[in-house]
Amino acid sequence: MSGNELLEVKDLSISYVTRDERIDAVRNVSLTLEKGSIHGLVGESGCGKSTLATIFLNLIYPPARLVGGSLRYFGGPSGEISVLELKAPELRRYRWKEVSMIFQGSMNSLNPVMRVYEQIIDAMIDHDYTFEEAMLRVDTLLELAGISKRVKNLYPHELSGGMKQRVNIAIALACEPKAIIADEPTTALDVVVQSQITRKLESLRRDLGLSILFISHDISLVGAIADKISVMYAGKIVEVGKAEEILNTPAHQYTIALLASIPTLKSVESRISGIPGHPPRLNTPITGCAFADRCSKAQNRCRTENPELESISGDHFAACFFPGGGSNS
Ligand SMILES: Nc1ncnc2c1ncn2[C@@H]1O[C@H](COP(=O)(O)OP(=O)(O)O)[C@@H](O)[C@H]1O
Ligand SMILES: [Mg+2]
């Protein structure tokens, strides 16, 4: 522990359990979000990123089931708390006031019959702000999110995608949280708006000292904003380290493949997008490395033994028996 942690997930496992099957979406994940930092969580669709995100607000409801693990929060007024042990009233105070979230796809789930300001003050009134206090704060929040305060009287259908996402940022900031969990906050936006929203989050970190868990399937986007990056594959963190280490000297073959599949100007016409094949569905137990089937370096050992996270250098860790050798290293 460096003493700079804000949120610390330990040994977390979450499964979806239905009558027909059990999907082990998050498998023994540990992850730390440091104060005032941006931590990128990257991995292809279906790797368990959104399921992992639900732990930060303790939003695990059936068919999701918490199989094991803990979440500690170090930012509260009375020191360290175990979030998963909070009782309802304490949990209500923790959610949105300490840690808030921009949900995946939330751009399209703003309430269509409520004006922007109503949606913003809703969150605050739920958290002990008076109506007057909340109304006074709306303009500031819109300004922080980088949109004109005139937007407050509009309905969601009157806004562009980028503006809707800025409204979501304003909602996430409403109760002055110390951390925001941003799940694919720029997916479905065009490239220019994507970079505006990313820069906005970066400036909020700088100006408000926010901590941000920035979740995306796009490693180039995460690389542009994050201090640290965790790479998730098949429900596990397979590599973690400082962003520049992950980008320049990636160790896990999955990270190397993700980086190699970023289209470059030269390759954009010829290269197929993404890594061939798919992540496993996680409805049957996995023996060995989950990436072995798609990995060009896989040996017998990779199919029979389970690689654990091991130090590559300093605080750069990877769970790979044959690390490195990527084109960037
Ligand atoms: N409500 C659900 N019921 C059953 N399975 C689910 C549910 N939500 C997600 N899953 C499964 O959990 C796995 C991880 O999904 P998710 O956390 O959404 O990944 P990501 O955000 O990385 O795309 C996937 O196999 C997905 O199909
Ligand atoms: Mg997701």
Q: What confidence tens digit (pLDDT) does each residue in 58-87 have?
A: 999 999 999 999 999 999 888 899 999 999
Instruction: Give me 255's structure tokens.
Output: 């990270």
Give the residue, by CA position, lying nearest to ligand 1 atom 24: 46
Q: Is residue 246 part of a domain?
A: yes
Q: Is residue 296 part of a domain?
A: yes
Strands (E), 74-153: 81-82, 99-102
Q: Is residue 302 part of a domain?
A: yes
Q: Which residue has the tokens 């009558």?
A: 19
Task: Give me ligand 2 centre to Cα 233, in Å.
Answer: 12
Q: Is residue 211 part of a domain?
A: no
* Vertex 56: Cα angle to 55 and 57 (nearest 5): 90
Q: Is residue 234 part of a domain?
A: yes
DSSP codes, 241-300: EEHHHHHHS--SHHHHHHHHTS--TTTTTTPPSS-SS----SSS---S-TTGGG-TT--H
CATH number, residue 27 = 3.40.50.300
Q: Kindly list the protein residues whose Cβ atom lies closer than 6 A to any atom of ligand 1.
A: 16, 23, 25, 43, 45-51, 63, 281-282
Q: Which domain holds residue 289?
A: 5-87+185-193+217-262+273-318
Give the residue, by CA position, lying nearest to ligand 1 atom 7: 16
Give the position, in ligand 1's atom list, of the atom nearest the Cα of 44: 22
Tell me how far apart the alpha carbons of residues 283 and 269 are, in angstroms, rounded to a whole number: 36
pLDDT digits (tens, 9 = 90+) for 228-287: 999 999 999 999 999 999 999 999 999 999 999 887 655 555 555 679 999 999 999 999
Q: Is residue 277 part of a domain?
A: yes
pLDDT digits (tens, 9 = 90+) for 114-162: 999 999 999 899 888 999 999 999 999 999 999 999 999 999 999 999 9
The confidence score (pLDDT) of residue 109 equals 87
User: Which of 268, 259, 277 lies closest to 327, judged by CA?
Assistant: 259
Based on the number of CB atoms within 10 Å of its own CB, is 287 exposed (0-12), middle (13-18) or buried (19 or more)?
exposed
pLDDT digits (tens, 9 = 90+) for 8-47: 999 999 999 999 999 999 999 999 999 999 999 999 999 9
Is pTM beyond 0.75? Reply is yes
Say which ligand is closest to the CA of 29: 1
Task: Give me ligand 2 centre to Cα 128, in Å.
Answer: 31
Give the residue, by CA position, lying nearest to ligand 1 atom 9: 51
Instruction: Give me 183's structure tokens.
Output: 């799940």
Count the domains in the chain. Answer: 1
Give the position, in ligand 1's atom list, of the atom nearest the Cα of 282: 25
Give the residue, by CA position, lying nearest to ligand 1 atom 5: 16
Tell me how far apart the alpha carbons of residues 223 and 298 are, in angstroms, rounded to a whole number: 26
Task: Give me ligand 1 centre to Cα 31, in Å.
Answer: 19
Say which ligand is closest to the CA of 104: 2
Pocket test for ligand 1, best of 13, 15, 16 (most atoms within 8 A of CB): 16
The confidence score (pLDDT) of residue 78 equals 81
Tell me how far apart the alpha carbons of residues 226 and 124 are, in angstroms, rounded to a whole number: 29
User: Which of 114, 14, 112, 117 lies closest to 71, judged by CA?
Assistant: 14
pLDDT at 329 over 90: no
Say which ligand is closest to the CA of 103: 2
Q: Is residue 244 part of a domain?
A: yes
The confidence score (pLDDT) of residue 46 equals 96
The average confidence (pLDDT) of the chain is 94
Q: Is residue 79 part of a domain?
A: yes
pLDDT digits (tens, 9 = 90+) for 283-327: 999 999 999 999 999 999 999 999 999 999 999 999 999 999 865
How far lies 251's CA from each of 255, 258, 309, 325, in Å?
A: 7, 12, 11, 8
Give the position, in ligand 1's atom list, of the atom nearest the Cα of 184: 21
